[in-house]
Structures are given as structure tokens and as C-alpha cells.
Amino acid sequence: MKLRSAIYLASAALVLAALTLAGALPSGAADKVDPVADAKAFRKFFTDKFPKVKLEDFVNGPYSMNEDLYRQWQDKEQFPPYEFSLEMGKEMFSKPFKNGKSYADCFPNGGIAIRQNYPYFDEKEGKVITLELALNRCREANGEEPYSYVKDEMAALTAYMAFTSRGKPMDIKIPNDPRALEAYEKGKEYFYTRRGQLNFSCATCHVQSPGERIRAEILAPALGIVNAMPIYRSEWSGMGTTSRRFTTCNSQIRAVPLSPQDDEYRNVEYYLSYVSNGLPISGPGARP
């Protein structure tokens, strides 16, 4: 099916998705925030839509959609295009700051094999903290300038940290705090809200049309989409962070991008990460 046909079916498909999510809630509780039911319904939607795809393979994005694409991914992994960034990130992570401390001093377990726990909700601050934000806060706390959230340095650092967590299941917690539930719900709302001149939502591409093409790009399923971040994209001829992906998507639908690490972006990352709980970390990834 061409993308144009998929767009014509947009309203019906989103209604179906909304009903699927709402139907997972207990009777009479459609207005209640229920992340556990959401995640269960979200997973069921995709596994029902793509019954031949193994659950853990959804993290491979478009390469999970058919056998030919899957073989392309296997071939690409022999000589991954993100390898240069991974090596750069390992070197950067190990290099001490001017004060003698390092990234390892800022994170549990020395920053190794912790990617699956980000983003998390900070109850003291009352906001979602992503890995990208935590890395820049670490830099600033040690007298270093923050990195751009959409440039190579941040992509390299997160690539290395993701690589140390490969295969570990996403494990995002929502604490018993109404502010955490609000952040999660706002992220969900952002994901399904249409915006921009094209009147697209995130779900227009990644719930309705995964596996379809939009120009040269093959659309990835939303389930497990953040597990592969950061990613190398042929379109960029380089690596991109989660922040870069969000801002690029907004630009592509002719909406005004938010600032990287804006609350809305952090909330939608929180939502997408939570509903992908249990799926393995596969980053850094590569996409067409």
C-alpha cells in the first residue's frame, strides 16, 4: 500500500488504535491512567498486526517487517555503519574531565549497562530525566560545556552506553507519584496528537503504516522504536540521537520542532520506552 493510501485510512486506523488502548482499561475507567493496560494493549496491537514478527525483533524497526529487510539488517551488522561512532563514544566516555572525574562518577554501575533504565522520573525534580539530559548535567556538574543534543558527540556517547546494555530488557518504572503518571499521559497524548501542515501525529507513521515507504524511508513500528536509539541513518550520513529524531520528525511534517529535551519530547520518550518494556536494548542501530 502506498503512503497516500495509508493516509486516507488515517482516521479509521487511529480510532482503532484508540479503541484498542481504551478497551484494555477496566469497565468504567476509560479516563483512568493505566500504563500497565496501555503497554499490554500496545504490544497486542503490533503482534496482532504483524503475527510473523518475533516480539524481540520489533526493536530492529523496518528490518523486522519482512525477510528481505531482515537479511539486509543481518548483512549490515557485519560491518555496521555506526562503528566509528561507537569507538568515538567509548574513547570519550573513558576520558577524564579536567577535574579528574569522569562520566562513570555520575551514574550507577559506572555508567555501564544502564541504558535500559532511561528515561526515568525524578521524584525530587518532578520531571522525566533522559540519558541525554543526564549526560549533559554530568558534564556541567564537572565544569564542562554541555554538548548539542543533536550532534555527533552526544550520539557517540549514547551509542557506547546503549551498546553496553545490548540485550538487556527495557525496564522503565513509573513511581507511585501523580506527577509521573501525568508525564506519562502527556507523552501518550503527544504521540497521538496531530500537528503541522501535514496534520500527522507520531502514530500516523509508526502505528498505522510501519513497513510502508515514505519517499525512500521505510517506516518503523512504534513498539521498540526507542530501544534502538541512537541510530545511523543513510539520510543523515551519520548518527542521530533521540532528540535529533524527534526534531526531524516534526520538521518533516512541517510542524515547528520543539527545543531538544523539551518537556514534551522527554515525556513522549518516557511513554514510548515504558510501552516497550521487556524488549531488548538494540542500540546503536542503523536505518535506511
Active-site residue set = 249
Per DSSP bridges, beta strands 285-287 and 231-233 are parallel
Q: How far apart are CA 130 and CA 152, in angstroms?
A: 17
- Contacts of residues 51-57 at CB distance under 8 Å and 24 or more positions apart, as own/partner, are 55/279, 56/279, 56/280
* Alpha helices (H) in 95-213, listed in sequence order: 131-141, 152-163, 178-192, 202-206
Which strands make up the sheet holding 231-233, listed edge to edge? Answer: 238-240, 231-233, 285-287
Q: Report cis status (omega within 30 of 0) of the bond before 284.
A: yes
Identify the bridge partners of residue 169 per DSSP, sorted by sequence position. Answer: 280
Annotated ligand binding at 166? The verdict is no
Q: What are phi and psi of 73, to 5 degrees?
A: -65, -45
DSSP tag of 195: B
Annotated ligand binding at 195? The verdict is no
Q: How far apart are CA 126 and CA 146, in angstroms?
A: 22
Q: How far is CA 153 from the centre of its chain?
A: 18
Q: How far apart are CA 256 and CA 259, in angstroms?
A: 10
Annotated ligand binding at 245? The verdict is yes
Annotated ligand binding at 138? The verdict is yes
DSSP tag of 264: H
Q: How far apart are CA 238 and CA 232, in angstroms?
A: 5
Annotated ligand binding at 4? The verdict is no
Q: How far apart are CA 31 and CA 53, in angstroms?
A: 32
- Extract the annotated binding site for substrate: 245
- Extract the annotated binding site for heme c: 106, 138, 202, 205-206, 249
- Extract the annotated binding site: 106, 138, 202, 205-206, 245, 249
